[in-house]
Amino acid sequence: MTMYDPYQNMLHVLDEAASVLKLHKDEYAFVRYPERELTVSLPIRMDDGHVQVFEGYRVQHSSVRGPAKGGVRYHPNTDINETRALAGWMTIKCAVANIPYGGAKGGIRVDPQCLSDRELERLTREYTYRISPIIGTDIDVPAPDVGTNAQIMAWIVDEYSKLRGKYTPGVVTGKPIEIGGSLGRNEATGRGIMYTLMSYLETTGKKPCDITMAAQGFGNVGSVGCLLMKRAGINIVAIGDIGRSLYNPNGIDIEKAYAYANSHGRSLDGYQEEGMQVIPKGDVLHLDVDVLFMAAMENQLNAATMEGVKAKLILEGANGPTTNEADTYFYKHGIEILPDVMTNAGGVVGSYYEWVQNRTGFYWTEEEYNKKLQANMRKTFQTVWQVKEKYHVSARLSCYIIALSRIVAAQNYRGFLG
């Protein structure tokens, strides 16, 4: 049994897209390799006085269509290969959404819950110092991801600004409103997922009130996505986080669960409501529902879990939740997937809007922000569906066809040296 390699997963679909477009490998070889990878050691004096050395990463996969763009992940399992894959997916995602960015990703191998706030701040500032030569408003723009948030982005802005000798809010997105963040950005990923699902239901002639959903993952993406989809009429019967999974055949009170999780460190531990039962964590993937919302981590739908899936639609909120093997299985069995590189692009589209506002110094209302986000997500979905039907391929392969054609076209216009 070979170990799951997320970057090879990405390359596999990329090569399929190139085959459909009849591209010779010479025409897109540059997309298969990250432009730059940086690994840094981060020695931090902990609160008890001892020094601990963490490992951090920043991978810039592509800058062909604009500055590299991608989040920073704090997680104990983060490594260079995961970061490389996430950067590659960001390149595809930005091209599918047709925003002027390339792809990047960063991370530190750490469990942020095991650090005090002071330790977390020291770690973030040291990481910023170490990667500062390769990031910047017009070079590479980080953002929050798993294990990071607006506060961490604020520390990055402050440290980077000190290094540059001037306030530089555009170096990251996902900041607090008070220091140049954008109204609507915190909910942008979840809202974009909701817009994508609504576009799919409109296209297929289905009504939200007739749809049942189970959700794996109840962090920022999962909880906001569930809250907004519930308000749009979706009946969510199961939710799960890293600690537990909950099932209520009559529908979960998402407003109540969302408020509880937000006041308990993003955890559903101890949450209760009438008619609800705790189920084994893995069972949330195999419930008899219309939509399975994947909002946790990579590689959740794989050879071990795919055959038990009963949902007819998989909504990917997380990055890379489905392996190639599971992807092929679902396609053969008529299970539709709304892929991550289209569905969760609301986060980077929203980040693009924040970056534009930072650069111009002109800030929009939340209503204006959400209206622009909805227009982009609807247009992206329509383009993906048109290409899907033109080539008779999966929605994921359609995304890669669109992205690859745009990236190759940009590189051809820019030209090659040598």
Residue 417 has what pLDDT?
A: 53
Shortest CA distance to 253 belongs to which of 273, 281, 223, 280?
Answer: 273
Q: May I ask the CATH architecture of the domain 188-338?
A: 3-Layer(aba) Sandwich (3.40)
Q: In which residue are the tokens 């008529």 written?
A: 334
Residue 242 has what pLDDT?
A: 81
Residue 167 has what pLDDT?
A: 96
Q: Is 105 a catalytic residue?
A: yes
Candidate list 105, 175, 230, 388, residue with the active-site label: 105
Query: What is the C-alpha separation between 418 and 30, in angstroms, rounded?
Result: 14
- What's this model's pTM, rounded to 2 decimal places? 0.93
Residue 6 has what pLDDT?
A: 84
Q: What class, spelled out in words, does domain 34-172 have in CATH?
A: alpha beta
- Phi/psi for 143 (5° steps) reads -160, 170
Q: What is the pLDDT along the chain (418 residues), one digit of tens a residue?
A: 345 688 998 999 999 999 999 999 999 999 999 999 999 999 999 999 999 999 999 999 999 999 999 999 999 999 999 999 999 999 999 999 999 999 999 999 999 999 999 999 999 999 999 999 999 999 999 999 989 999 999 999 999 999 999 999 999 999 999 999 999 998 999 999 999 999 999 999 999 999 999 999 998 899 999 999 999 999 999 999 887 899 999 999 999 999 999 898 888 888 899 999 999 888 999 999 999 999 998 889 999 999 999 999 999 999 999 999 999 999 999 999 999 999 999 999 999 999 999 999 999 999 999 999 999 999 999 999 999 999 999 999 999 999 999 999 999 999 975 4
Query: What is the C-alpha separation between 353 and 165, in angstroms, rounded?
Result: 25
The full set of domain ranges for the chain reads 34-172, 188-338
| Angle formed at CA 316 by CA 21 and CA 272, multiple of 5 degrees | 175
Residue 3 has what pLDDT?
A: 57
Same fold flag, 34-172 and 188-338: yes
Say what the alpha-carbon torsion angle 73, 77, 78, 80 is, to the nearest 10 degrees: -170
Residue 418 has what pLDDT?
A: 44
